[in-house]
Amino acid sequence: MVYFDNNATTPLGQNALQVYRLALEHDWSNPSSPYRSASRVRAKLEQAREELASILGFHKDQLIFTSGATEANNSVFAHVASNEKKEGQCLLSPFEHPSIIEPAKYWFKDRLTYMPTDDSGRVDLDRTEQLLNTENISLVSLMAANNETGVIQPWQELAKLCLNQGIFFHCDATQWIGKLDSSAFSLCTSFSASAHKFSGPKGLGWLACKEPIQLQLGGQQERESRGGTENYPAIASMLVALKDAIKDLDGLIQGAEWRDQFEQSIINAIPETIVLGKESPRLWNTSMILLPKFNNLSWVGKLDKRGISVSTGSACSAGNVKNTSLVFSMGLSSNEAGRLVRVSSYSDQNESDWQNLALAFTDVFKELKDEASHSSVISL
């Protein structure tokens, strides 16, 4: 199988797997228990927290291990809405992940404002700054990079604006961490990430937050911020996965050349194909393609039979792509939404894989055209 759906999840890295296995075997004690084996796990847990916090530019006491970015994102909106001294607006981009948009709607209801955007799927920073200067804003949330198009948002510039005005700024960094340099997240009030997006284990992530925050009650763990027994084996595995990604970052970024060559091959072979966000800065691994004909599930199915895995978009919106925030924010029609295919690589994919992917798309297009010509059913 050639796997091109890494924005949904990545396979566990070999070093991360080895560390995970060893920790499950030797460091399985409950870190909160009073005996020596548990104390050793507690010490290793805190060492991992300190090392990760140092990488991210936060103090170790500001780093909370979570089940992933979804939990972390939900916690931020609940925290700000519950603790704001005066009711203010929540400002976020219209193409945030559902784990941002849904809690924003729940906690802020009619106090929710969307940032202006341009046609390429990027926030308009100048017009957004005008909102900061004229409206009462309590919380601003902007993803670092879009999970569907890969378009990089001006989160650093917006974080600085919020910092200067004392506004809480949250960044969903799920697609950024492990793909690009992460040294600037100290500009944020808080940011979230998930380990399985950079070859770490599923069910683990973090919230880095400069304010004291209560995620859940019922235990003394995580400095009383989040009750529940910490999963040290997964934490150790996640740290190794991140360190491996950082070490390989320069090589990974060069993959943008392979992605660009793939896109040009598709445009040449399949006329009227459009690459969403092509003119904007993007993650090096992501390509969101609007194909001129045939439903995206037909494309996915045909490619799957050839041993190639791609996606129609966000895994959290699979089967409901026509209602995703991306479709609304970029002004796509219902018909166009049904012809979107997302391709996303990571460390296991090489130049040959990208070339073979382009050839497979070309072959599938010919096959779908041939089937349509022999069918009485009209294909869209």
Structure tokens at 65: 């291990």
Amino acid sitting at position 120: S
Tell how strand 340-344 and strand 168-172 pair up. Answer: unpaired
Q: Would you call 162 a catalytic residue per the annotation?
A: no
| Conformation bin of residue 227: beta by default, left when phi > 0, alpha when psi is -120 to 50 | beta
Please state the three-class secondary structure of the chain as a single string. Answer: CEECECCCCCCCCHHHHHHHHHHHHHCCCCCCCCCHHHHHHHHHHHHHHHHHHHHHCCCHHHEEEECCHHHHHHHHHHHHHHHCCCCCEEEECCCCCHHHHHHHHHHHHHHEEECCECCCCCECHHHHHHHHHHCCEEEEECCCECCCCCEECCHHHHHHHHHHHCCEEEEECCCCECCECCCCHHHCCEEEEEHHHCCCCCCCEEEEECCCCCCECCCCHHHHCECCCCCHHHHHHHHHHHHHHHHCHHHHHCHHHHHHHHHHHHHHHCCCCEECCCCCCECCCEEEEECCCCCHHHHHHHHHHCCEECECCCHHHCCCHHHCHHHHHCCCCHHHHCCEEEEECCCCCCHHHHHHHHHHHHHHHHHHHHHHHCCCCCCC
- Single out the catalytic residue among 90, 171, 209, 316: 316
Q: Which residues are catalytic?
A: 316
